[in-house]
Amino acid sequence: MEDYHVIGLMSGTSLDGLDVAYCRFALRSGQWEYEIIKAETIPYPDEWKARLSGLVSAGGADLARAHADLGRYFGTCARDFILKHNLTPSFIASHGHTVFHQPRAGFTFQAGDGAALAAHSDLPVICDFRASDVALGGEGAPLVPAGDRWLFGQYDYCLNLGGFANISYEWEWKRIAFDICPMNNILNDLARRTGHDFDADGSLARKGKTSPFLLEKLERLPYYLQAAPKSLGIEWYHAQFKPLFEQTALLPEDALRTAVEHICRRIAVSMTAGLEGRVLATGGGARNGFFMERLQSMVSCEIVRPDDLLVDFKEALVFAFLGVMRWRSEINILASATGAGRDHCSGCIHLP
């Protein structure tokens, strides 16, 4: 029996905050078991929200400074979390915060310097999980499918409803995965038009009406014609997706309803691998009651919403697990999910 106690850090493009999860992993008879022992989301202060949202257009010096500052901030958050709960992690695995993701141009960049994080947390840090995959010709995303295979194999599909919606499943002994479409990025942006940070339980969208005109324009986006593996970046969202809403004069409620219909349609199309059974739905979108109702009405599979701890912290849990696999020098990235030249072991290790 081998046990690991690890902290996973996740910062998503929706800027909800830094997810911090203290997890235990145990390898018993060739099967991995997991437990989320303590977890919390640390909301970003307004200053950090502004800095992170502006990094895509920042100059080189500002980007480098923010990269280092964010690593120090992550390290301080992790250290405070450890002291608050009297924890004893062996190391930290950090996803970082994605600023650029353009794998077809050969680069991806997650802010949150691992060396600074290690120095300020006084723990080893494993980070930068995506760069090696892009260097090997892959999309650098999604990376969570490795965790889906080894931790959640009892489900037929694993659906993540975060800033972007993505999915993974087994098909002909391979793990297939891809980003489906924007999710909370657009729903939160539209909710802010009404003075809310998000559409709680989908109550605003429930009041709206679908715009057939906008829905048709969304469905015609070229990305949806691409074959998997494929992934989305925030640059694509701002350049091709969000402008379609800005160019259409709709009430916020109608825009939200149209977005919900579009997202549910795209997810339903993604579940055409001939699989029945159960879907594990996690991420912030799984808390949106109206969205989940509409999605279940469009698919034949049973959609399972687990306990709140797993809904909110599955990605932090999985990156902690990817860190464990990197620590063991074992494969943690699946080429069938990312399109890389081969399965590989990814992540940079920084010692304090």
Supply the DSSP string of 227-250, one letter for each residue.
PSS----HHHIIIIIHHHHHTS--
pTM of the predicted model as reported, rounded to 2 decimal places: 0.93
pLDDT at 276 over 80: no
pLDDT digits (tens, 9 = 90+) for 285-330: 999 999 999 999 999 999 999 999 999 999 999 999 999 999 999 9
Separation between Cα atoms, residue 68 and residue 244, nearest integer Å = 35
Least confident of 19-33, 216-230, 265-279: 265-279
pLDDT digits (tens, 9 = 90+) for 190-229: 999 999 999 999 999 999 999 999 999 999 999 999 999 9
Decide which of 3.30.420.40, 2.130.10.10, 2.102.10.10, 3.30.750.24 is the CATH code for 2-139+313-350: 3.30.420.40
- Compute how many other C-beta atoms are within 10 angstroms of the C-beta atom of residue 138: 26
**Quick check: do 2-139+313-350 and 146-309 share a fold?**
yes
Biggest distance spanned by C-alpha atoms of the chain: 60
Q: How far from each other are the two terminal CA atoms of the chain, in whole angstroms?
A: 28
Domain boundaries, the chain: 2-139+313-350, 146-309
- Average pLDDT on 102-106 reads 93
- Class at the top of the CATH hierarchy for domain 146-309: alpha beta
- Average pLDDT on 254-272 reads 95
